[in-house]
Amino acid sequence: EPEVTQTPSHQVTQMGQEVILRCVPISNHLYFYWYRQILGQKVEFLVSFYNNEISEKSEIFDDQFSVERPDGSNFTLKIRSTKLEDSAMYFCASREYAQETQYFGPGTRLLVL
Amino acid sequence: AQTVTQSQPEMSVQEAETVTLSCTYDTSESDYYLFWYKQPPSRQMILVIRQEAYKQQNATENRFSVNFQKAAKSFSLKISDSQLGDAAMYFCGKVQGYQKVTFGTGTKLQVIP
């Protein structure tokens, strides 16, 4: 069964550094999402992406964040200058056109020191 | 803002018994989708079951079923014949118009052998 994959599974970085989190959505999916989950809290929406542009973003998704689909398979989340509070689990999700179910990847655990 | 409420931070159930996890939500729309996701200690988000709001019939997936009460805006998850592998965080989520998933705060389910 096709799955969403994410790399790396864990990343440790220093405050102020840039990080890029990578996702490979399911191949025939057209809508892509990033969510994050701070330890012990609920999963929060960051951004949705369709047709090579952002379709919706949350208040969390400020100028420090950007997303890109650099080729036909990858979907990336970049954090330009990480802060301590960016430490969280980051989930990528994707869905098919005209289907409501989003399939989540296994997540990337980001720790900012 | 749309809200999804899970009023039970923690629940426990004896192995082989039945447990019900509660979820209520807020919406002004008539067409939307509801989900239950399971998050084991690995923190991966796994889709358990989904319900389309325009369908009156409650969804079932093997030992998992829902009690969907549209007028009451309630969407509970029933787990029958609980197994040790069911121990996890369970998140209720709502999607409207193929947009982001709005999640509740989660219920931690403990299964007692």
Q: Per-residue pLDDT tens for A50-94?
A: 988 999 999 999 999 999 998 878 999 999 999 999 999 999 999
Look up the CATH number of domain A5-112. 2.60.40.10
Cβ <8 Å between B103 and A101: no
pLDDT band at B98 (very low <50, low <70, confident <90, very high): low
- The answer to whether A100 contacts B50, with C-beta atoms less than 8 Å apart, is yes
Residue B28 and residue A19: Cα distance in Å, rounded?
Answer: 39
Q: Do A102 and B33 touch (CB under 8 A)?
A: no
In this structure, are strands B107-112 and B10-14 parallel, antiparallel, or unpaired?
parallel
The residues spanned by each domain of chain A are 5-112
By C-alpha distance, the chain B residue nearest A57 is B100
User: Please, what are the domains in chain B?
Assistant: 4-108 (2.60.40.10)
Question: Does position B110 have pLDDT exceeding 80, yes or no?
Answer: yes
For the stretch B35-58, pLDDT in tens is 999 999 888 889 999 999 988 899
**A57: Cβ contacts below 8 Å, ≥ 6 apart:** A46, A47, A48
> Rounded to the nearest 5 degrees, what angle is found at the Cα of A60, between the Cα atoms of A55 and A61?
45
Note the pLDDT of residue B1. 63
pLDDT tens digits, one per residue of B60-75: 999 999 999 999 999 9
Residues in chain A within 8 Å Cβ distance of B47: 101, 103-104
